[in-house]
Structure 1
Amino acid sequence: MADRSYYSPKGGLPPQTQLLTDRAMFTDAYAVIPRGTFSDIVTSFLPFWDKARFWVIARPLSGFAETFSQYIGELLPGGGSDRPETSPEAEAVIFVVEGGLTLTLAGKQHLMEPGGYAYIPPGTGWSLRNEGDSAARFHWIRKAYQAVDGLDAPDAFVTNERDIAPTEMPDCGGVWATTRFVDPADLRHDMHVTIVTFQPGGVIPFAETHVMEHGLYVLEGKAVYRLNQDWVEVEAGDFMWLRAFCPQACYAGGPGPFRYLLYKDVNRHMNLPR
Structure 2
Amino acid sequence: MTTRTYATPPGGLPPQSDLMTASTGKAVFTDAYAVIPRGTMTDIVLIALPYWGNTKVWVISRPMTGFSESFSHYVMEVGAGGGSGQPEVNPEAEAVLFVTKGELWLKIGEDIHRMGPGGYAYLPPGTDWSIENQGDMPAFFHWIRKRYDKVEGIDMPEVFVTNERDHAPHPMPGTEGKWSTTRFVDPLDVRHDMHVTIVTFEPGAVIPFMETHVMEHGLFILQGKGVYRLNQDWVEVEAGDYIWLRAFCPQACYAGGPEPFRYLLYKDVNRHMPLGL
Q: 2:44 is paired with a residue of what secondary structure?
A: helix
Using structure 1 for the length normalisation, give the TM-score.
0.99
Tell me the distance in 2 between the aligned counterparts of 1:86 and 1:53: 18
**Paired position in structure 2 for 1:48:** 51
Question: RMSD in angstroms over aligned alpha carbons?
Answer: 0.7
1:28–1:64 contact (8 Å) kept in structure 2: yes
Using structure 2 for the length normalisation, give the TM-score.
0.98
1:256 corresponds to which of 246, 254, 259 = 259
Aligned residues: 274
Tell me the distance in 2 between the aligned counterparts of 1:146 and 1:7: 31
1:64 corresponds to which of 52, 63, 67 = 67
Matches within 5 A, 1:83-102: 83-102=86-105
Q: Once the 2 structures are TM-superposed, how far is the Cα of residue 17 of structure 1 from its aligned partner?
A: 1.9
Tell me the distance in 2 between the aligned counterparts of 1:257 and 1:234: 13
Q: Percent identity?
A: 67
Q: Once the 2 structures are TM-superposed, how far is the Cα of residue 49 of structure 1 from its aligned partner?
A: 0.3
Tell me the distance in 2 between the aligned counterparts of 1:88 and 1:263: 21
**Counterpart check, 1:4 vs 2:4:** yes
Specify the code of the residue in structure 2 equivalent to 1:213.
E
**Counterpart check, 1:143 vs 2:168:** no
Q: 1:162 is paired with a residue of what secondary structure?
A: helix
Tell me the distance in 1 between the aligned counterparts of 2:97 and 2:83: 13
Tell me the distance in 2 between the aligned counterparts of 1:107 and 1:25: 44
1:199–1:254 contact (8 Å) kept in structure 2: no
**Paired position in structure 2 for 1:222:** 225
**Paired position in structure 2 for 1:178:** 181
1:167 corresponds to which of 160, 166, 170 = 170
Tell me the distance in 2 between the aligned counterparts of 1:154 and 1:148: 12
Q: Once the 2 structures are TM-superposed, how far is the Cα of residue 185 of structure 1 from its aligned partner?
A: 1.1
Q: 2:235 is paired with a residue of what secondary structure?
A: strand
1:192 corresponds to which of 188, 195, 199 = 195
2:250 corresponds to which of 239, 247, 251 = 247
Structure 1 portions without partners, runs of 5+: none
Tell me the distance in 2 between the aligned counterparts of 1:73 and 1:198: 26
2:2–2:260 contact (8 Å) kept in structure 1: no
**Paired position in structure 2 for 1:117:** 120
**Post-superposition CA distance 1:198-228 (Å, at most 9, x none):** 0000000100000000000000000000000
Q: Once the 2 structures are TM-superposed, how far is the Cα of residue 3 of structure 1 from its aligned partner?
A: 3.3
Matches within 5 A, 1:10-49: 10-21=10-21, 22-49=25-52
Tell me the distance in 2 between the aligned counterparts of 1:168 and 1:3: 17
